[in-house]
Structure 1
Amino acid sequence: HKKDDGLIAQLLHDDSHATALSDDELISNTILLLNAGHEATVHQLGNAVYTLLLTYPLSRRNELISLLANDRTANAVVTECLRFCAPLHLFTRFAQSDITLEANVKVHRGEQIGLLLAAANRCPAKFRNPNTFDPMREDTAHLSLGAGLHFCLGAQLARLELLVALQVLFDRLPGLELASKPQYQDAWHFHGLVELPLRW
């Protein structure tokens, strides 16, 4: 590979003392890029296709194809897929100060907190019928791509990848259906399928 071939190569070969990363920072950033850029994308696509096949069986497939044919409603499908079947269910953070949560739960500075994004995305106080896949819902704000300082840097790319993949897949294979029930992988941080057996 050439010295400037790709982002990771650029990070590895950065000779500037002002911006060069330590070995630990290089490893952490490479793992982050792999998880965010590949693992999350693969699992989001698999989860989305599985959800859409369950929600829109062949008897309702024309409804899905119509939704995906229109830019506004296709983007609504993508947003609902991100909320309903996100690939990342849990993030951890460290408390920057002592805080008291609901029910008088105390978290001390430096303690690790598990943020259950999937639970937040299905919260009945926030979403009407949270366990129903509904691309036309009005309450669309979700936490699947993070928030604030930790909002996903690749959010627009992730949305575009999912949009194009779903549009092309169901345009070319409108008769797509499950060949058998898939199995989810046993992982605490990623929610994704081991495989998605399909037929058409």
Structure 2
Amino acid sequence: MSNEAAENRLFVIAAPSGAGKTSLVRALMERQPELRFSVSYTTRPRRADEQDGQHYHFVSRETFARMLDEGAFLEHAQVFDNCYGTARGQVEALLADGYGVVLEIDWQGARQVRAQMPESAGIFILPPSRAELERRLRGRGTDTEAVIRRRLADAAADMSHWDEFDYVVVNDDFGRALDALADIVQGRGAASRARRPELAPVIAALLD
């Protein structure tokens, strides 16, 4: 994988729930005007505060199935009763126009994208500790104890896939984590490489 700037690069960003991925990606997009966000397709109903084409492309199950049969998706998944997918054509068009493209998906989707577009750059965001992850999840104040426990268990499983990514950013300080993401998309991400030795104790503590 070459160490080039954001133009014509696909950045796949994944993280366990509670790591701060969505806030970091939103801030990154504001800072880096050369980036574009790929809007996913979904079969789930549109909520009252959502706009088609901005939050998701809302399609029927029949349309989604047809797109899947046609090989239209770079990655796709079924989450509970709804389907989600990233359209290959949308990503390729943005890349052809000279933009860097950001996908905010889970590690399973990232694996699918890597298989189809191995030149993409995979970025995994981690919390600084399991205690901080639990504090953030509880701080939302919207989930029951059972849901929090499930999210923590899911997060532990998700974090075990950190080594499938090219870069790992530890979100211990929002500003520093954002700077690290910006460096990666600008082609200066050597300090965030997944295989750096100083990351080992953080990983060990998170997966213990």
| TM-score normalized with structure 1 length | 0.23
More relative contact order in 1 or in 2 (CA 8 Å, sep 6+)?
2
More strand by share: 2
Of structures 1 and 2, the larger Rg is shown by: 1
